Structure 1
Amino acid sequence: MPSAPSGSATPPRSTPFTEEDWTNVDGDIPPYQRSKTLAERAAWQFVEEEGGGLQLSAVHPVGVLGPLLGPDDPPSLRLVRRMLEGGVPACPPFGMGYVDVRDVADLHLRAMTHPAAAGERFLAIAGHSLRLLDIARVLHERLGERAAQAPTRELPVWLTRALGIVNPELRLLRHQLGRDLDATSAKAERLLGWRARPIEDTIAETAESLLAHGIGT
């Protein structure tokens, strides 16, 4: 969620993130998340001070999955690709939200055209957060032998931290380990009538699309 809270910059919590939450740009977060938040704050400030009659709405998707449009290799799908290829021997222990790219597009259209969207921020998530192991389980259940290389176990937090000493990818996850970064799209559902499709369908269709394009085989 680009300008909603980054897990590395917020204390642990038991309630889902909402549109009232913002990334702490002074926290220990990657430059990408910081830049997204600063850009959005600048946009809201511009509309307030110089926008005249302009209206602004902001849509914040969580992890975006979904079928490919072509044979490229988008970063947001690399987790699923690597699971199919056997590149994830075991899952790091954390959870986050996911949403279908088609539902993100639908929410953008609603935010542009629905009168209730003016001046509002919207989170886009399908259901609740998923552990990486949950994604792997969906792949096994929906694709069978074609997902035989997907992981079947989750690493303990202590071991993941230890491996992060020598593995830069795991080191980047250090603040998320053991946490489930959940969010809610209740606002988009209430104001705009938006509904996300089941994320299990999205995961399966993502994998099917990757395999159809020769990615992940």
Structure 2
Amino acid sequence: MTDRVLLTGISGFLGGHIALALLNTGYTVRGSVRNLSKADKVRQTLENAGADTTNLEFVALDLTRDEGWREAMEGCRYLLHTASPFVIQMPRDKNELIRPAVEGTERALNAALAAGVERIVLTSSMASIAYGHDPKRTAPFTADDWTNLEGRDVTAYVESKTRAERRAWELMKAAGREDDLVTINPSGILGPLLDEDPGTSAAIVQRLLDGTVPAAPRVPFVIVDVRDVAAAHVAALTGDVGGKRLPIGERPMFMFEVAQVLRKTHADYARKLPRFEMPDWAVRIYALFDKDIRGILGELGIRKSLDSSTAEALLGRRLIAADQAVSATAESLIAHKLV
């Protein structure tokens, strides 16, 4: 297979795993980075993970600038757009997140449509599905659900992902090509790191292992393994899922449950792991001094789940267990000497 895929955000945690899966499947990958000075490191990281990078090339693209998008799309059969800003600590001006997310999506999709690519796979998020709803809801969130931007505790990140995905569907509808778009909507992504950058996804496990979380707030996370999310992106390029949204998350776990998994699988770190859950009132006081905690107050005690049946059907198997994703994250953090 020599089909060329433009993969934006190749230097990210998910982007690296997608590149690895694409190369191992036989695609030619044109990866975008903001600065080409990152290219050698990305190439070496993928080679260290076992990839043959003969069919790997790089282009410089910026979500906030027009330059280079048309040229980057030339000769590509598919677009896989993963690049989007992500933070834990919310900015004072929400448009610092929303603008590049939406405008980057517009630039990528408009260039792809102009180039006549066959299919576009967009990395969206559970954030565009499961927020701003009744906190008492127990039913799994599905592809038919959209985040209510007028609802409670909708952060700038949640709004950025929701607006970016809605804009993608608007563009494809206007072009008469809705069936040529697939969005992947993952929950919190964990799993093995490819390099020494823990990014934001592994920060929760890192903080648990290094002892900086003395007691666990009652914050639940729907967890999915990065290898499943990457495999879903690659399968969506040619699978019978055109025009669909694919929520993907294995199961929800409270932070204390994550700590309990780590206590079993990494007993050497047991003394650093939290031994009890922090009452919600104490979390709210603690958040006055910890900006990372402040950003998750709206999720205290709210356990959500996703209907991942379409993603599992595409993959032809069950998702990797959340416990395994947690353990794999810890293993790689330790291997890279990050804890």
Q: Same fold (TM over 0.5)?
A: yes
Q: 4+ residue stretches of structure 1 with deviation over 6 A?
A: none
For structure 2, list consecutive stretches of 5 or more residues without a partner in the other structure: 1-125
Q: 1:14 aligns with which of 138, 162, 172?
A: 138
Q: What is the aligned partner in structure 1 of residue 244 from structure 2?
A: 120
SS at match of 2:166: helix
CA distance in 1, matches of 2:278, 2:235: 40
Query: Is 1:46 equivalent to 2:171 in the alignment?
Result: yes
CA distance in 1, matches of 2:277, 2:233: 35
Deviations 1:68-102 (A, max 9, x none): 11111211001111111001111111212001101
CA distance in 2, matches of 1:57, 1:184: 16
- Report if aligned partners of 1:188, 1:194 keep a CA contact under 8 Å in 2: no
Task: Output the TM-score relative to the length of structure 1.
Answer: 0.90
The percent of aligned pairs where both chains have the same amino acid is: 37
CA distance in 2, matches of 1:205, 1:191: 23
CA shift for structure 1 position 54:
6.3
Task: Output the TM-score relative to the length of structure 2.
Answer: 0.59
Identify the structure with the greater strand proportion.
2
- Report if aligned partners of 1:18, 1:183 keep a CA contact under 8 Å in 2: yes
Note closer, same or farther for the CA distance 1:53–1:63 as it changes in structure 2 (3 Å cut).
closer
Note closer, same or farther for the CA distance 1:83–1:45 as it changes in structure 2 (3 Å cut).
same
Query: Is 1:141 equivalent to 2:264 in the alignment?
Result: yes
CA distance in 1, matches of 2:297, 2:193: 30
CA distance in 1, matches of 2:141, 2:313: 16
Note closer, same or farther for the CA distance 1:135–1:24 as it changes in structure 2 (3 Å cut).
same
SS at match of 2:129: coil
Choose between structure 1 and 2 for higher RCO, CA contacts under 8 A separated by at least 6 residues: 1
SS at match of 2:197: coil
CA distance in 1, matches of 2:249, 2:166: 22
In the TM superposition, what are the counterparts of 1:26-175 in structure 2 within 5 Å?
A: 26-27=150-151, 28-52=153-177, 55-115=180-240, 117-126=241-250, 128-175=251-298
SS at match of 1:97: strand
CA distance in 2, matches of 1:166, 1:136: 22
Q: Which has the larger radius of gyration?
A: 2
CA distance in 2, matches of 1:175, 1:22: 18
